[in-house]
Amino acid sequence: MRNYAIALLDDRIEAGLHGNLLMKSAEIILGTVVLLTLAAVAAFVLSHQKKLSNRLMSFLLCALAASSLAALLGTGFQQFTYVTPAPFLLGVFPMSFRLDGLSRLFVGLLSLILFSAGLFSTGYLKHLEGRISSGLYWTTFLLFSLSMFGVVLSGDAITFIVMWEIMSLSSAALVGSDHSHHLVQKSALIYLSATRIASGLLCGGFLWMHSLCGSWSFVDWNFGTAQAIFPALLILIGFCIKAGIWPFHIWLPYAYPAAPATVSAVMSGFMSKISIYGLIRILVQGGLYAPEIINLAFFLGAISAFWGVLFALVQNDLKRLLAYSSIENIGLILLALAIALKARAANLPIVADIAMTAAVFHCLNHGLVKSLLFLCAGAVDSQAHTRDLHKLGGLAKKMPWTMACFFLGSFSMCSIPPLNGFASKWLIYQSLFQSAMLNVSYIERGIALATICLLSAVGALAIATFVKAMGVGFLGTSRSTMAEHAQEASAGMRASQSLLVVMCAGLGVFASSAVKFISQLSLLSRDSAASTAVDFPLSIPLLTGLLVVTCLIVYLLFLESSKVRIFKTWDCGFGALSTKTQASSDSFAQPLARIFRPFLRYETNSTIKGRDRRHFPEEITVEVKIVSILESRIYLPSLAVISLGAKGLAKLQAGSIHLYLIYVCSTLVILLLVGTAL
């Protein structure tokens, strides 16, 4: 053990000797990090002046994001490892950070999201006055963001797991920050438990790999060997839990709605991608070939893509809907990863490159879009004081800017050209198409075709989901007075939304260069030498231009000059329509939900009251019930088993001293038996 510690000491010193200019910049980043932590504490100290601390902290957050972006650009494209010098140590381990193509991409994404979250915060936190303690919120938020930087930059397993745990803990604290509601507490605890289980599995996998490869740094880990299957499985499951892949997604629809919008934006936008990052960094770049694992990942990804969007369709809480849709997208990303691995195993480098690019590109896109959508939802929540689609509606006139941002985000989620969602979706389709064409085994071809079919169904469902969100949430007339009195969001909030919208549109229109950039990082392997550029043949800019121009022409030709008369919506001559006559979110989703009844456990019970009910109903109530099978059939029972076991064990502590003495004696007997056995 001593040698262990000493060895660590030695290689730390060695690493210290190999310092170069890049490390200087890294030290600068480290410095800012420390400084910001101090600032967070400061915020905590002056937390009683809410306004000031909010301003200061959101500024600091933006500063952090900007500085990290600057550091990214500053360090150019070379990759380097940085091992912390003596004082910055994890007890006995040096922290080792690694900056390369992959982490660069994710750091960039994180910085963007954090920047917009910071912009958003000042305006948003107003409506949480008195419900959350801003000092605590900001401290944990900064801790959260710093730890996420740490995770994507970490070069070895220990740094990774440390940062990972800090991230989980701080995010759980953030989820629970509005802890006066009971539901919020419950959600935070569910999330905390899920994430702890995930990290437990990860620890298991890491320890196992360490005992196999004798090293903590990811670079030395090789998953090609036969006995590396089990650690690979542990790691895969761990990451799946954290990412909210079916069937481990239970925590997600609780956590995201419960958290403040900024937090859920960051969590869904980036934290769920961190699992993907981990999968790429550890399993993909570790050279995983085991078909069992790959097929498992493929299967899980496909299922969660479908399951997520299906449940998103029938949600009535705006943020819950978004949460489920991020399950869908993470599923898509995992699916793409699995396709890449399959293709690599089947020796189809082109397909593998396409799929890999698709996965990473979709990470970026979904990160941006989903944080945009969550921010918009937050804006709606802060202005209309509800997220329930049954109470929303008619916001189009109240908050047009937010509506525009939300619509564009939703289009991108429906992967409609020319927005970025389409580009990455196209890549996934393309990879499947190619493997259906090129793959040697006919079974694989069939699977690819079936997956294409599934994906198109998922796409159509996504359209249904987001049309519902847009139409019921923003169009028509307000369904409640709260929505009636909504105001447009503050300038900062709008600015952050628009920033993200611009990013999405940009990534969509100039997808081809983005794709080239990503594919040249050649993320499939550790050595960035073997890089083959994936080409993106669609001329999206032309298409966009064409669409815009045609729209303008058509508008000018036809509608611009036409005489318009404003009248009320046609009411079949019954007189003024009540807002209840509009389609509610349930009724909009009903035909589709009916088709998928068996999956959703979809039940509608309607009761009609009044004498002669058929002709003169006095009261009609229709309620829709959806039961999540997993939760009711699997998770709750297993929880019950655990708590039952705990109760049973607690019976041992019965309070009688005679019993206790008997334990002592029986333990003695057992020990003697064991001793004789050994």
540-549: long-range pairs with CB below 8 Å, 24+:
540/417, 540/418, 540/423, 540/508, 540/509, 540/510, 540/511, 540/512, 541/509, 541/510, 543/417, 543/418, 544/418, 544/509, 547/418
Q: Which range of residues in 265-273, 361-369, 432-440, 611-619 is near other proteins by CB under 8 A?
A: 432-440
Residue among 43, 169, 267, 534 that touches other proteins (CB under 8 A): 169
C-beta separation of 552 from 386 below 8 A? no
Residue 294 CA to residue 299 CA, distance in Å, equals 9
**Which residues make Cβ contacts (< 8 Å) with residue 506, sequence separation at least 6?**
420
Select from 17, 78, 566, 619 the one that contacts other proteins (CB under 8 A). Answer: 566
Total residues contacting other proteins by CB under 8 A comes to 149
Least gap, CB of 94 to other proteins (angstroms): 9
- CB within 8 Å of 52: residues ≥ 6 apart: 46
Q: In whole angstroms, how close is the CB of 321 to other proteins at the nearest point?
A: 15
Counting contacts by CB under 8 A, is residue 565 touching other proteins?
yes
Cβ contact 333:359 at 8 Å: yes
Pick the piece of the chain touching other proteins (CB under 8 A) from 86-94, 104-112, 508-516, 620-628: 86-94
The DSSP letter of residue 127 is G
Q: Which is nearer to other proteins, 21 or 648 (CB)?
A: 648
Per the CB < 8 A criterion, the answer to whether 424 and 361 are in contact is yes
Q: How far is the CB of 161 from other proteins (least distance, A)?
A: 7
For other proteins, which stretch binds (CB under 8 A), given 238-246, 369-377, 418-426, 598-606?
Answer: 418-426
Which residue, 182 or 611, is less far from other proteins as judged by CB?
A: 182
Shortest spacing between CB 437 and other proteins, in angstroms = 5
**Using rule CB under 8 A, residue 236 touches other proteins:** no
**Cα–Cα nearest to 514, from 372, 338, 360:** 360
Beta carbon nearer to other proteins, 52 or 548: 548
**Rounded least distance, CB 461 to other proteins, Å:** 6
Q: How far apart are CA 471 and CA 621, in angstroms?
A: 23
Using CB under 8 A as the binding rule, the residues of this chain from 576 to 595 that contact other proteins are: 577, 579, 581-583, 587-592, 595
Least gap, CB of 384 to other proteins (angstroms): 16
Q: What is the dihedral of CA 376, 382, 136, 269, to 10 degrees?
A: -10
Q: Which two tokens stand for residue 438?
A: 């090129």
The DSSP output letter for 156 is B
**Residue 653 interacts with other proteins (CB under 8 A)?**
yes
For the bound state, the minimum distance from the C-beta of residue 220 to other proteins, rounded and expressed in Å, comes to 15
Region of 7 on the Ramachandran plot (φ > 0 left; ψ -120 to 50 alpha; else beta): alpha
Q: Which residues contact 227 (CB under 8 A, 6 or more apart)?
A: 212
Q: Is there binding between residue 520 and other proteins (CB under 8 A)?
A: no
* Shortest separation between residue 516's beta carbon and other proteins, angstroms: 16
**Considering only residues 176-205, where is the footprint of other proteins by CB under 8 A?**
176, 179-180, 182, 185, 188-189, 192-193, 196-197, 200, 203-204
Tell me the C-alpha distance between 101 and 269, whole Å.
20
397 binds other proteins per the rule CB under 8 A: yes
Instruction: Give whole-number Cα distances, 627 to 315, 326, 602, 638, in Å.
Output: 12, 20, 7, 17
Using CA atoms, how far apart are residues 57 and 678, in angstroms rounded to an integer?
Answer: 62
Cα 531 to Cα 516: distance, rounded to the nearest angstrom: 10
How many Å is the maximal CA-CA distance in the chain? 102
CA 309 – CA 600 distance, rounded (Å): 12
Nearest approach, Cβ of residue 473 and other proteins (Å): 10
Return the residue of 276, 343, 373, 470 that touches other proteins, per CB under 8 A: 470
Alpha helices, H only, 314-415:
318-345, 349-384, 395-398, 400-413
Q: Which secondary structure element, helix H or strand E, spans residue 624, and what is its range?
A: strand 619-626
- CA distance to 44, 78, 175, 374, 658, per residue, from 125 (Å): 15, 40, 14, 14, 59
Should residue 127 be labelled a site residue for other proteins when binding is judged by CB under 8 A?
Answer: no
- 15 is written with which tokens? 């690493």
Choose between 22 and 166: whose C-beta lies nearer to other proteins.
Answer: 166
**Does residue 551 belong to the site contacting other proteins (CB under 8 A)?**
yes
Interface residue with other proteins among 74, 224, 291, 400 (CB under 8 A) is 400
- Nearest CB to other proteins, comparing residues 75 and 512: 512
Residue 138 interacting with other proteins (CB under 8 A): no
- Near other proteins by CB under 8 A: residue from 38, 41, 46, 92: 92
Query: 54 or 159: whose CB is closer to other proteins?
Result: 159
Q: Is the dihedral of CA 492, 494, 497, 498 positive or negative?
A: negative
Per CB under 8 A, 15 contacts other proteins = no
- Which residue of 33, 271, 396, 521 would you call a contact of other proteins, by CB under 8 A? 396
* Least CB distance to other proteins at residue 419 (A): 10
639 alpha-carbon distance from chain centroid = 25
31 part of the interface to other proteins, by CB under 8 A: no
Residue 491 or 659 having the CB closest to other proteins: 659
Give, as ranges, the residues between 611 and 630 that touch other proteins (CB under 8 A): none
Question: Of residues 41, 46, 86, 634, which one binds other proteins by CB under 8 A?
Answer: 86
Binding mask 148-167 for other proteins (x = CB under 8 A): ----------x--xxx-xx-
Among 17, 78, 91, 481, binds other proteins (CB under 8 A): 91
- The correct pick among 438, 482, 495, 505 for binding other proteins (CB under 8 A) is 438
Among 115, 138, 144, 208, contact with other proteins (rule: CB under 8 A):
208
Which residue in the set 75, 133, 217, 498 belongs to the binding site for other proteins (CB under 8 A)? 133
Work out whether 260 is an interface residue with other proteins (CB under 8 A).
no
Decide: is 411 part of the binding site for other proteins (CB under 8 A). yes
Can you read off the two tokens belonging to residue 656?
């009688």
Could you tell me which of 166, 334, 322, 319 has the C-alpha nearest to residue 246?
334
By beta-carbon proximity to other proteins, the closer residue of 621 and 656 is: 656
Tracing tokens 């800012």 back to the chain, one arrives at 32
* Nearest distance from C-beta of residue 678 to other proteins, angstroms: 5
Which 8-state DSSP code applies to residue 95? P
Question: Segment 477-506, which members bind other proteins (CB under 8 A)?
Answer: 477
